[in-house]
Structures are given as structure tokens and as C-alpha cells.
Amino acid sequence: MMNLFKMGGEITSRKLTTIIGIFGAGFILLTWYFITDGTNWVKPQTIPSPISVLLSFKELVFKNGLLPNTIYSIKLNVWGYAEAIAISLPIGFIVALFPICRSMLSKYIDAMRYIPITGLTGIFIAWFGIGMGMKAHFLAFGVMVYLLPVVIQRVYETEKVHIDTVWTLGANNWQLFTKVYLPSVLSKVFVDIRVITAISWTYIIVAEMVNNEGGVGAMIYSAAKQSRIDKIFAIIAFIVLIGFIQDKLFQMLEKWFFKFKFLK
């Protein structure tokens, strides 16, 4: 129990960690209820009560089509970050592994992180129209500007001892890439992808506002126009739940694809 309050300590009991996590969720909900329904310290127009947020799900599901809109957003997100991964991995390897490409492009790739992504919607509309394709490309670019520099950095972090060992055994460039660089980088980048792909949910509201074809981002925009703060909170909570499930799925896939990382 002393480790609970020890700086830098660690809780080794999974059961205790779960109990504390449940307590934390209960504490947040009770505090939320107390300042809204319990004491009315804040107006419902500012922060809705947890009860009103929960009740709004009925209208969202049966009247506003929460489930089909969620499917639309998931498709858009998967398309977006799959495209970002497909572009970032090969470019990242090429830039990191070849000195001429590294000298020519690495500084500009790092600078891409400062691009105001939300300000590019007009450019993407001009390039790709206003359909689902444009939104997916927009999300892909939003993920790629962060993922690409990470891929390059992970290539740099490949253990030199592994590279030297493969050279000593007489491997050629292709064997060096497939046996050392590729597994080393992918095992690390997979964790980065798991974190960075959450960015697509940040930009989805901006993307889905265009042409308002559907999606949870468009639902948030519509709820805001109606001043339905309870619906906005409910949709955001639902997105967080989707993100939590997505994160767990990535963890399962990581253990499946990279079993060697979890060997003791």
C-alpha cells in the first residue's frame, strides 16, 4: 500500500489498479453530478448534467442516427490513417536510409509539423472535391505530418550492434533491410501509430463539416447549431469510447504481430 503514495512507485497488483481506476471514474462522475444537478453551481447551458447527457443518447440513436454516422466516421478514419501509414513508411525509410534523401528532405519534413492543418480544408476541396475521398485525404495528411518524422527517427534508433552483426555474417543490403531495419522499426512505429492515429479523430469534425454527408463530427456541428450541449457531451463521450476500443485493438494486434517484444 505504501507504493500508492511513493514517488516513482509502481502498483504490481492488476486487481488493485482496476479498483483504483473504477474509483477514479466514480469520483469524476460524482463531482460532475455535484456541480450540476447537486448544487447547480454551473448552468445547464454551460455544462450539462451527466443524467441529461445519458438521456440524450436515446434521441441520438433513434432520431439522429448515431450508429450509421459512427460507421461512416470509422470508415473515414480507417481510410485516412491507412493511407497515412502507406505513405509514411516507405518515404520514412527512403529518407532515413539514403544520405542524399536525408540531406535533401529531412529538415522540410520536420517543418511540416507546424503546418496549420485545419487551414488547409480549402486546398483539399480544390484538389479532391467535397466527397468522402477529400475528407479521407485530409485526415491522412493530418496524421502523416506527425507520423513521417517519427518513422525517420525510429530508423535512426536501430541498434548499431544488430547492423554490424548482419554485415559480419555477409548479408546484402536487402537482407539488412528485411532482417534488421524493417522488424526493428515496425515494432516501435506500431506503438507510435497507435498514439498518432488518435489525431484523425481531432480533425474529423473539420472534415465532416464539409458537405455534411454524415459522421459523428457532423453530428457535433449540428448539435452545436441547435445549442444542444448535452448531445455534444454525449457524442464526445462516445468518440472517447470508440478511441478506447481502438486502442485496445491496437494493443492486441501488437502482441500478435510482435510477440518477441513480450517474451520474458
What's the pLDDT tens digit per position in 215-235?
898 898 888 888 889 999 999
Alpha carbons 118 and 131: distance in angstroms, whole number: 17
Q: In the CATH hierarchy, which fold is given to the domain comprising 60-262?
A: MetI-like fold (1.10.3720)
CB 52 within 8 A of CB 60: no
Predicted pLDDT at 214: 84
Which stretches of the chain drop beneath a pLDDT of 70? Answer: 1-9, 38-40, 44, 263-264
Predicted pLDDT at 263: 67
Predicted pLDDT at 56: 92
Predicted pLDDT at 147: 92
